[in-house]
């Protein structure tokens, strides 16, 4: 359908090469004809000098071409990226897993590209821009490749950082060349997809200095705005796909208006069903236990992105290999999740007193988490050093929660304070190990009072949005008092619980000192031994 346009494009892009080849062949023919007409002596003399003349000519030509390319053909702004055929990307929509809603929106774009003739017949226009927004590792780039593959059109990919240079004007020049290349491919193939990854590198809100000047990225962004808004030729369907990990609010409003990025696709972390499909897909690439319950893995990996799940499977394969196993088991996956979330174990030799105090600290966290927390379950307790912490109680939510109520926030504070209270009750003094716990608890309590209106006095409003000098000292004092009130109330409840469960606290401390680590099943068994149960335990995800 587009063969004549492709031929015209090919000759328009390579006419210089054809001209050079023709000229060289003509010169060779003239040189041979001239040598044939010379006398024997002069012909031999000319042939003897010919290699040196060719060498000097080639050197001069190389210097000239280099200077010409640097000065007149872009130099630093030279664009290295070429097009990639859609069929060569080889990422189908079936390969994009865990983001079904985003796939539906993207498939609509593919349909518009495929049916662009019908769309133009009824007077419609194809989308000019598609913005993908979401956290890292959720498949934005992968989805863009799938769009190019399914649409079967050329695909050009660049990162936003490739437009940023120290030299003024280089970024804008690269943008012009990139869009020129995209328009040529769209003319020859009917459409072209231009993918700009990490768009926020050049798409942030424009800023200007006090003298009226702007940053170099301003010129680059201005050129993108002009190029996107200037794509009016009905046969030059260039679809710009931008991807960013930053929120929409950081991008310039001129980029987001209709006519530039017309459509926005929000890509979030996968839900339960999506995570199960991801585990099935990535485990199919390695030898694994076929009896493994993938639904348990999906429930164990709440809030994990596709990239994180892929990394977990890779880490599990390494662990299985290290243990000289023939396939990956559930235990390997579980260890990989802990290694990714908690970090590698560090062998530190603690004094008996340090080990006992750490065990009391973690046992306090464990008991309060198990009994009082409404949404999270304990999967592991350890007094082995990981990263910067001396011990850890590893917990996971039972399901995705996108809104946290007051009870959940208070439970988080109580769990954070439990280590401090346990040390104070059993050791007579506290240690520096409570610093991160206090920091987390204070952050939550401060947010509850200053931002969320969850104090007893009902000081409503987000006071962090008001300049500090515009809040009266009386209001500040009330807010701080309410924060401390939450702190002390939670601490008293934790102290009462740990005093009541003193036998359980001693038992867990003893087990941690002897074993260093307690797994989910062992923790459940000890609680069951003392007839301690909680409502809706997540035994199905152990």
Domain definitions of the chain by residue range = 3-76, 86-266, 272-342, 345-541
Nearest to 196 by CA among 170, 174, 229: 174
Active-site pick, 150, 227, 276, 362: 362
From the candidate CATH numbers 1.10.287.110, 3.40.50.1110, 3.40.50.300, 1.10.8.60, the one assigned to the domain spanning 272-342: 1.10.8.60
User: What pLDDT, in 10s, does the model give residues 59-75?
Assistant: 887 787 676 655 544 45
Active-site residue 495, yes or no? no
Write down the pTM of the prediction. Answer: 0.75
- The mean of the pLDDT values for the chain is 81
| Class level of CATH domain 345-541 | mainly alpha
- Which CATH superfamily is 86-266 part of? P-loop containing nucleotide triphosphate hydrolases (3.40.50.300)
Is residue 111 pLDDT above 60, yes or no?
Answer: yes
Nearest to 299 by CA among 541, 51, 33: 541
Written as six digits, the tokens of 91 are 């990422």
Maximum Cα interatomic distance, the chain, rounded to a whole number of Å? 118
pLDDT for position 541: 41
Return d(Cα 135, Cα 137) in angstroms, integer.
Answer: 7
Return d(Cα 255, Cα 201) in angstroms, integer.
Answer: 13
Residue pair 102/267 in contact by the 8 Å Cβ criterion: yes
- 27: confidence class by pLDDT, cuts 50, 70, 90: confident
Written as six digits, the tokens of 54 are 């060719």
- 540: confidence class by pLDDT, cuts 50, 70, 90: very low
pLDDT for position 312: 93
Return d(Cα 286, Cα 52) in angstroms, integer.
Answer: 61
């Amino acid at each position: 359908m587009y063969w004549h346009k492709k031929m015209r494009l090919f000759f328009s892009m390579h006419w210089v090469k054809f001209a050079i080849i023709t000229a060289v062949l003509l010169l060779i023919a003239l040189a041979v004809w001239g040598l044939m007409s010379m006398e024997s002596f002069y012909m031999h003399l000319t042939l003897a000098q010919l290699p040196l003349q060719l060498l000097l000519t080639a050197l001069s030509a190389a210097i000239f071409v280099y200077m010409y390319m640097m000065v007149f053909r872009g130099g630093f702004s030279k664009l290295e990226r070429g097009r990639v055929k859609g069929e060569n990307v080889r990422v189908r929509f079936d390969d994009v897993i865990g983001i079904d809603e985003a796939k539906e929106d993207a498939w609509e774009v593919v349909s518009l590209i495929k049916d662009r003739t019908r769309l133009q017949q009824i007077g419609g226009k194809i989308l000019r821009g598609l913005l993908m927004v979401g956290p890292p590792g959720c498949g934005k780039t992968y989805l863009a490749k799938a769009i190019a593959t399914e649409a079967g059109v050329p695909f050009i990919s660049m990162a936003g950082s490739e437009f940023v240079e120290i030299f003024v004007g280089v970024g804008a020049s690269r943008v012009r060349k990139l869009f020129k290349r995209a328009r040529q491919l769209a003319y020859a193939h009917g459409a072209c997809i231009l993918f700009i990854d990490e768009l926020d590198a050049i798409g942030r809100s424009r800023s200007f200095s006090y003298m009226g000047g702007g940053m170099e990225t301003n010129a680059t962004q201005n050129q993108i705005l002009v190029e996107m808004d200037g794509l009016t030729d009905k046969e030059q369907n260039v679809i710009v796909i931008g991807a960013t990990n930053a929120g929409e609010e950081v991008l310039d409003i001129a980029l987001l208006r209709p006519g530039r990025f017309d459509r926005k696709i929000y890509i979030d972390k996968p839900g339960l069903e999506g995570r199960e499909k991801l585990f099935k897909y990535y485990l199919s690439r390695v030898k694994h236990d076929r009896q493994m319950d993938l639904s348990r893995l999906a429930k164990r990996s709440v809030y994990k992105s596709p990239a994180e799940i892929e990394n977990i499977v890779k880490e599990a394969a390494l662990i299985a290999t290290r243990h000289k196993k023939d396939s990956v088991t559930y235990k390997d996956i579980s260890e990989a999740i802990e290694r990714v979330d908690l970090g590698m174990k560090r062998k530190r030799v603690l004094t008996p007193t340090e080990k006992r105090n750490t065990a009391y600290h973690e046992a306090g966290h464990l008991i309060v988490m198990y009994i009082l927390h409404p949404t999270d379950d304990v999967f592991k307790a350890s007094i082995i050093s990981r990263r910067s912490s001396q011990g850890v109680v590893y917990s996971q939510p039972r399901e995705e929660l996108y809104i946290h109520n007051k009870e959940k926030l208070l439970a988080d504070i109580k769990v954070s304070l439990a280590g401090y209270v346990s040390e104070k009750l059993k050791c007579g003094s506290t240690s520096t190990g409570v610093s991160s716990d206090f920091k987390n608890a204070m952050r939550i309590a401060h947010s509850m009072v200053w931002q969320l209106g969850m104090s007893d006095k009902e000081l409503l409003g987000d006071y962090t949005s008001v300049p500090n000098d515009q809040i009266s000292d009386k209001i500040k004092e009330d807010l701080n008092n309410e924060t401390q009130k939450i702190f002390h109330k939670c601490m008293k409840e934790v102290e009462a619980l740990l005093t009541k469960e003193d036998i359980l606290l001693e038992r867990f401390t003893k087990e941690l000192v002897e074993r260093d680590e307690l797994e989910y099943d062992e923790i459940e068994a000890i609680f069951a031994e003392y007839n301690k149960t909680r409502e809706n335990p997540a035994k199905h995800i152990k």
